[in-house]
Amino acid sequence: MAESNLAPLNPPPSRLPNVGTTIFTVMSALAAEKNAVNLGQGFPDFDCDPRIVDAVTHAMRTGHNQYPPMAGVPQLRQAIAAKIAKLYEHTYDWNTEITVTAGATQGLLTAILCAVHPGDEVIVLEPCYDSYLPAIELAGATAVPVTLEAPLFRIPFDKLAAAITPRTRMIMINTPHNPTGTIWREEDMQQLADLLAGTDILLLSDEVYEHMVYDGQQHESVARHPELARRSFVVSSFGKTYHVTGWKVGFVAAPAALSNEFRKVHQFNVFTVNTPVQYGLADYMADPAPYLNLSAFYQAKRDYFRAGLAGTRFKLLPSDGTYFQCVDYSAISDMSEADFSMWLTREIGVAAIPVSAFYSTPRESGVVRFCFAKKEETLKLALDRLAKL
C-alpha cells in the first residue's frame, strides 16, 4: 500500500500539555547564534580531573562492562555511605539505603513516582528547578507552590505551614538553592523539623550543590537532623561535584522502607547505571580532597565574578552556595526578565537565565541568573562585555 494513502495518526493526549521548549535550550541556542558568552545553562566549561577519567578507563579495561547490581556497585554505595557518615554524622546502610541513579533528575522523578499518588499534594518552594513540577504532574499529583520571600529569597515558614493540608504527601526543598544561590541554615532545618513532627509528610531534599557552600558556612543536609532524615529522600550528584555533568550519575539516600519503594520504580525506569563510571567514581572517592576543596575552588570564582560585576549597574544578590549568581537589573532596564535576557545575549553578548522561568506561573522580580562555573578567561570576557552596562 502506498504510504501517501495513509492518514496521519492523531497524537495521544499529552501527559505534560503545558511543557514546551525550556528556557535553557532557547538561551543556549541564542548564545550560540550570537557568539555570546553562555553564562546561562549551569555546566562548567573546563575539564574534569584527568585522574577520574583514568579511573573510569581502568574500570573499562579491567572488565567492568556488564550490568551492575540494580542499586549500584557495592564499592560506590559503601563510599557514599562513608562520606555521608563523616560529613553529616548520619549512618545509612550502604546495602539497603543508598541507590545510585542516572543523575539527580532521575532520582528526583523516581522519588516522586514511588511515593506520590493521584490526589496527593506536593509543596514546592518557588523559584525551583524546572524538573520538579513536571515530575509531580506525571505522578498525577498537585503541586502547591510557596513563594520564597523577595528580595533575598527567604523561607516563609508561616506560608509553608499554611500550605499543609491533609492531602500533603511531600515537601520538596533544595539547598544550596538553584536558581537563587541561597542556603538553608541549622535554624531553618530545626523549624522544618518542628513543623513536620507528628505528621507522615515525606521530604525530598535536593542537595546536588552540597559541596559548594561559601564564607565558612556549612552545608545543612537534612541527614544531620534525625527528625528529617527518617522521612527524607536525599538526592545528590557526582556531575556537579566532579565537573562531569554529562556523565549523569547521582545517588539517593533514604531509610530502608523508603529506599525499598524507590527501587521498585528505579528498576523499571533505568534498572541500573553505567558500570565502569560507577567503579571509577568509587576509586576516585578514596581521596576526599576533590569534594572537600570544592567550596574554596568555586568561592574564588564567585569572588572574582562578583568583584567584576560590582563595577556595573547590576545589584548583586547574595550567593551563599551553588555556582550561580543572581543580579537585580532594575537600574538598567524595565524589560521583562525574558526580554532582558534575550537583549543581553543579542546586544551585549552575554547569556543569562530569567529567574521568572523557575516559577509555575512566570513571576517578575527584575532578576536574572548567571553561572560562574567557567574558566577565568570566560568570566573575564563576560565581565568586559557587561562593563558596557
Backbone angles phi, psi at 152, to 5 degrees: -100, 5
| Residue 341 CB burial class (10 angstroms; 0-12, 13-18, ≥19) | buried
All three cell numbers of 350, joined, read: 552575554
Q: In the prediction, which pLDDT does 220 show?
A: 98
Q: In the prediction, which pLDDT does 4 show?
A: 66
Contacts of 13 (CB under 8 A, 6+ apart): none
Q: How much of the chain, in percent, has pLDDT values that exceed 90?
A: 92
- pLDDT band for position 365 (cuts 50, 70, 90): very high
Query: In terms of C-beta distances under 8 Å and separation of at least 24 residues, what long-range contacts does 183-192 make, across chains too?
Result: 183/213, 183/217, 183/219, 183/220, 183/320, 183/321, 184/155, 184/220, 185/217, 185/220, 186/220, 186/224, 188/155, 188/220, 189/220, 189/222, 189/224, 189/225, 189/228, 190/225, 191/157, 192/157, 192/228
Better-predicted residue by pLDDT, 27 or 90: 90
- Residue of 259, 225, 303 whose CA lies nearest to 80: 259
Count CB-CB contacts under 10 A for residue 86.
9
How does strand 315-316 pair with strand 353-354? unpaired
Contact criterion met (CB below 8 Å) for 235 and 207: yes
List, in order of start, the domains of the chain with CATH numbers: 3-48+292-386 (3.90.1150.10), 52-290 (3.40.640.10)
Q: In the prediction, which pLDDT does 6 show?
A: 86
- pLDDT band for position 2 (cuts 50, 70, 90): low
What tens digit of pLDDT does each residue of 9-22 get? 998 999 999 888 88
d(CA 219, CA 199): 25
Q: How much of the chain, in percent, has pLDDT values that exceed 70?
A: 99
On the question of pLDDT at 24 being above 90, the answer is: no
Contact criterion met (CB below 8 Å) for 110 and 269: yes
Q: In the prediction, which pLDDT does 362 show?
A: 82
Count CB-CB contacts under 10 A for residue 61.
10
Average pLDDT value for residue range 103-122: 98
d(CA 361, CA 357): 8
What tens digit of pLDDT does each residue of 237-294 get? 999 999 999 999 999 999 999 999 999 999 999 999 999 999 999 999 999 999 999 9
d(CA 372, CA 255): 35
What tens digit of pLDDT does each residue of 137-154 get? 999 999 999 999 988 999
Contact criterion met (CB below 8 Å) for 112 and 170: yes
> pTM score, two decimals?
0.96
Residue 165: half-sphere exposure toward Cβ, Cα within 13 Å: 10
- pLDDT band for position 3 (cuts 50, 70, 90): low
Of 25-34, 109-118, 186-195, minimum mean pLDDT range: 25-34
